[in-house]
Amino acid sequence: MTVTPDLLRSENFAEVGQILQQDAARLIERWSAQAVKEQPNAQRLHHQSLLNELPRLLTELGRSLAEASERNSGYCRPAIQHGEQRWEAGWSLGEVVRDYQLLRVVLVQYLEEKLARSLSSHELMAIGLCLDDAIAASVDAFVRNRDEYLRGLEQQRAEQDQRIKEELQHREEVLRQADRHKNEFLATLSHELRNPLAPLRNIVGVLELHETNDPVILQIREIIQRQVQQMVRLVDDLTDVSRIAQGKIELRKERVSLSAVLEQVLQMAEPILAAHQHKLHVTLVKEPLWMEGDPTRLAQVFLNLLNNSAKYTDPGGQVWLTSAREDNRAIVRVRDSGIGIDPEMLPHIFELFTQAEWSLSRSQGGLGIGLTLVRRLVEMHNGTITAHSAGRNHGSEFAVLLPLLSEGVSGEE
């Protein structure tokens, strides 16, 4: 005759059931000792709060075995509680199952001692069937709690990610608006500053038409002319920075000789270098360096760098301009013996308005937009610019790297 679960549940096992009900506490004591011994990682968790449900489980299990009509009616509820307790205490699923495996061994050993006989196959199968039901209920509770916890964590993570995303989007929009307002302000400022400069330049022109030998008038005229030129250059730089930021500047690129650009720049920079009584050292590479670029904007880059060195070098200082080839790139260096750059300021020297703070003690400090303009123009030519300085009063050096045309198109036409 085939033994089925339904058949086992219909049988009464009064002896076994009564012992489980009467000796539940003693059985749990044995099981707990064995569990602590065999599961050292879970040893600290075999305390009373986790044992409360197991005596009730054994009592209900005993009643189920002894009274067929109540079979499987109550012991799964404490098994569910057992699984939930184990999850909350941080057990693994393997440790939960091992609890019941140890309980099975302890039950069989204790019953055979108490009955002074071996359990029958039906008794063994009935006990195993009930414990399997308990294991299933306990594991299901364990997994359900674990999954709910993981879902909760995932939801919290998703909500946090969403909050971070929204915050970043908000900050990005705020920065974008601030940048747009800044560009609009710079454009308006440069326009408003340019308006009064036109009559001032006209006045300088009128003054130059009137010949005079009065040294005071000549000095005043020279000061006005120099300051107006300075203002024009600052406004031009401000306008260019604003237009680049708004994407309104387009380079007029052509095949250009870097040496020709630098020679033009030297002529343009001569007055300011002479005014500061600087000694200029020029070392240009002899081979032609051809590149694709806007000659006017390239000249603006190197003229700004030379003017920068002239301004921040005390009268009678040294300025060096060199060019060389490095593989498929040209490198132009502008070095001076001037006031140098503080190490903490060096990483920010190309940022807009940084130079104003750096040169606050200098009467010719400007707005700190020249180097920003230089960097942006160099980047528009697919080049890079770096600044180096050993610190205050140790001079500074700016190195511009620009891509050259390939050999096939680099010679004279």
Tens digits of per-residue pLDDT, 214-248? 888 888 888 887 777 767 776 777 777 667 666 66
Report how many helices (DSSP H) and strands (DSSP E) the chain contains, helices first: 13, 7
Nearest partner of 102 among 163, 194, 28, judged by Cα = 28
pLDDT of residue 179: 72
Question: H or E stretch including 208?
Answer: helix 121-209
Look at residue 186 in the predicted model and tell me its pLDDT: 67
C-beta neighbour count of 10 within 10 angstroms: 11
Please identify every stretch of the chain with a pLDDT value under 70, giving residue numbers as ranges: 1, 40-52, 68-73, 183, 186-194, 230, 234, 241-242, 244-248, 352-368, 407-413
Residue 90: predicted pLDDT = 76
Tokens 């506490």 locate to 25
- Do 304 and 371 contact (CB within 8 A), yes or no? yes
Please state whether 6 falls in left (phi above 0), alpha (psi between -120 and 50) or beta.
Answer: alpha
Residue partners of 137: CB distance under 8 A and separation at least 6: 76, 77, 79, 80, 83
Q: Residue 323 in 3-state DSSP?
A: strand
Pull the structure tokens for residue 411.
């010679």
Helix residue ranges per DSSP H, 210-333: 215-245, 258-275, 295-311
Q: Within 10 A of 148 (CB to CB), how many other CB atoms are there?
A: 11
- Each residue's pLDDT tens digit, 29-64: 888 888 777 776 655 455 554 556 778 888 888 888
The CATH architecture that domain 5-157 belongs to is Orthogonal Bundle (1.10)
- The DSSP call for residue 288 is -
Quote the pLDDT of residue 364.
47
Spatial distance between the Cα atoms of 37 and 46, rounded to a whole number of angstroms: 11
Establish how many alpha carbons lie within 13 A of residue 142's alpha carbon, considering only the half-sphere containing its beta carbon. 20
Tell me the fold of 254-409: Heat Shock Protein 90 (3.30.565)
How far apart, in whole angstroms, are the C-alpha atoms of residue 74 and residue 311?
93
The whole-angstrom separation of Cα 71 and Cα 65 is: 6
Report pLDDT for 365: 47
Q: Are 312 and 351 in contact (CB under 8 A)?
A: no
Contact 374/309 with Cβ under 8 angstroms? no
* The pLDDT of residue 359: 46
pLDDT at 360: 41
3-state secondary structure of 386: strand
Residues 306, 376 contacting (CB under 8 angstroms): no
Measured in whole angstroms, the distance separating CA 405 from the mean position of its chain's CA atoms is 36
